[in-house]
Amino acid sequence: MIFLISGVIVILYLLNKLLPSATYWKERNIFYVSPFYKAYQTFFGKESFAEIVRQIYEEFPDKRYFGSYQLFNPCLVVKDVDLIKQITIKDFDHFTDHVDLMNTDHDSLFSKNLFFLKGKQWREMRNTLSPAFTSSKMKAMFVLISEASKKFVQHFEAKNDEIIEVEMKDAYSKFTTDVIATCAFGINCDTLENPENEFFTMGKAVIRSNFWMIIKAFLRTIFPRVFGFFRIPILPVEVTNFFKMIISDTIKSREKEGTIRPDLIHLLMEARKGKLQQETSSQSTEDTGFATAQEIRDSKPNSDLEITDDLITAQAILFFLAGLETSSSLLSLLSYELAKNPDIQQKLISEVDDNLSSSEDSISYEKLAKMKYLDQVVSEALRKWTPGFVLDRLCTKDYSIPTVKEDEVPLTISKGCYINIPVIGLHYNPQFFENPEVFDPERFNDENKKKIAPGTYIPFGSGPRNCIGSRFALLEIKAIIVFLLNKFEIKFIEKTPVPLKLKQGFGLLIDGGAWLGLKKRSKTS
């Protein structure tokens, strides 16, 4: 009987949350998509979420925007480029926050990271962190990325096989783990040689918990007070305690010994002392490429933000979660494209050879920044396989959208409404990118990239809330590709899934695995 009563209470509670919002778009006379349509496709369809987002974008070509639902909340899907720029840049003050499906307010670490911080706290944290991700800081950090890249390539150089068969997503996950470990946490791992190291083990625990994180996010949205009352954390306690211990021990050791290392911990320790300042234009170095998200600086002072050990840990964990899967997925898809298009790969190899002789095993930051074709290849990979295939914003105060087309009515979206921006739809729109299914780096050559309409290519987001780590991500991706192609060619093998199909789920994973072959190059001076 108690289970029946509990079930009835839960159903009534859900109906009470669902029914008021279910008529949101109908009351405003706005075209909308049934919430069950999108939910069914997402959770029970056979396609990846990225493909579903693209299909929905393409399904209504005559709409600048349309209504939808995300769980129990009304959501406006915005397709029009000018309106996207309006929302993310010009009228940013109405859309300052990300959607917080996980209700992180009661999680001691997630509530402090840059992605989930809101309003004034977000502005202060962004202003504090942005000097840590400038081009000059990335140049200093490049030494650490280079060391991890060398170890990655040396691992495969030591093998005697003519063609080394590698599941590239797994291999790149170990590489990105090593990069994040050294650049964000100040520790050295060699995960390909030692896959059971504690840092990677904890990382796998986070990845394995992704499904349960989705379930938790769903339940947190429905029952936020329950999760808040019981203080139920987002990540397993042993994972957060492990990361806290690393950060705390590292900070104590460095303060005691005066150690200086060009990583995120050092930069945040400098920020705590008030020594981390924005660089001037005269201090800036070569940038990391066309796809780099431009920082929109806030002129307001940092005020009273206290940079505690927990705050530093929160940013390091965000760095870990944001960079691990996104970069490794992109790298595996980029490698697949290079193997599929040997002419593109050979042209890139020629550029690598022009900048890295057979006797060298490293490349300078300056040379990497000047490799134009490399930038074209990476830019095109980010167009076709951008990990940030959909952006979200939260309406933080009522906002009016005037009519542009004859069939539109004036729309005022209320505070609390979600905004979805289908980036993948823009990137595959043939009006903006001809033959979008084709992997064509020439879209981004000196002549053609000038023709790309502003706002149609946004792999790292748009406006003040774009990805703060775009320079780091581009540097990491470019470095490992150059180091790898200096020694190997990437080939299709028998295990390679042809044609490429994305795996059902929320990430960009190749169904059947990213199996490719590495063939040692006979490179001469």
pTM greater than 0.75: yes
**Predicted local confidence at residue 327, as pLDDT:** 95
Residues 112-139 have pLDDT tens digits of 899 999 999 999 999 989 999 999 999 9
**Predicted local confidence at residue 380, as pLDDT:** 98
Read off the tokens for 58: 């393409």
pLDDT value at 194 more than 80: yes
| 6 — pLDDT class (breaks 50, 70, 90) | very low
**Predicted local confidence at residue 220, as pLDDT:** 66
**Predicted local confidence at residue 228, as pLDDT:** 65
Average pLDDT over residues 328-357: 96
> Which range is least confidently modeled, 106-120, 220-234, 386-400, 414-428?
220-234
| 217 — pLDDT class (breaks 50, 70, 90) | low
Which of 153-157, 202-206, 310-314 tops mean pLDDT? Answer: 153-157
pLDDT value at 13 more than 50: no
Residues 467-489 have pLDDT tens digits of 999 999 999 999 999 999 999 99
| 275 — pLDDT class (breaks 50, 70, 90) | confident
pLDDT value at 92 more than 70: yes
Read off the tokens for 140: 């200093």
- In whole angstroms, how far apart are CA 23 and each of 18, 67, 69? 9, 11, 11
Rounded CA Rg of the chain: 23
The CA distance from 87 to 96, in Å, is 10
- 93-122 core/surface letters (b: 16 or more CB in 10 A; e: else): ebbbbbbbbbbbebbebbbbbbbbbbeeeb
The CA distance from 97 to 118, in Å, is 5
| 361 — pLDDT class (breaks 50, 70, 90) | confident
The CA distance from 517 to 405, in Å, is 52
DSSP state of 411: E
Residues 242-259 have pLDDT tens digits of 889 999 999 999 988 888
* DSSP reduced 3-state for 401: strand
**Predicted local confidence at residue 14, as pLDDT:** 47
Of 92, 58, 86, 48, the C-alpha closest to 432 is 58
SS (HEC) of 426-456: HHCCCCCCCCCCCCCHHHHCCCHHHHCCCCC
**Predicted local confidence at residue 203, as pLDDT:** 76
DSSP state of 97: B
Greater pLDDT, 522 or 467: 467
- In whole angstroms, how far apart are CA 336 and each of 94, 117, 161, 166, 509? 40, 36, 20, 12, 12
**Predicted local confidence at residue 392, as pLDDT:** 96
Mean pLDDT in the chain?
A: 87
Residues 367-413 have pLDDT tens digits of 999 999 999 999 999 999 999 999 999 999 999 999 999 889 999 99
pLDDT value at 4 more than 70: no
**Predicted local confidence at residue 455, as pLDDT:** 96
Average pLDDT over residues 328-332: 97
**Predicted local confidence at residue 63, as pLDDT:** 94
Q: Which amino acid, residue 432?
A: F
pLDDT value at 323 more than 90: no
pLDDT value at 285 more than 60: no
pLDDT value at 32 more than 70: yes
pLDDT value at 325 more than 90: no
For the range 185-193, what are the long-range contacts, defined as Cβ-Cβ under 8 Å and sequence gap of 24 or more? 185/243, 185/246, 185/247, 185/250, 185/263, 185/264, 185/265, 185/316, 185/320, 186/246, 186/250, 186/254, 186/261, 186/263, 186/265, 186/266, 187/246, 187/250, 190/151, 192/151, 192/152, 192/155, 193/151, 193/155
| Four-point Cα dihedral 363, 366, 372, 374, nearest 10 | 40
**Predicted local confidence at residue 9, as pLDDT:** 47
**Predicted local confidence at residue 226, as pLDDT:** 67
Average pLDDT over residues 85-110: 89
Which of 25-29, 222-226, 346-350 tops mean pLDDT? Answer: 346-350
The CA distance from 284 to 134, in Å, is 8
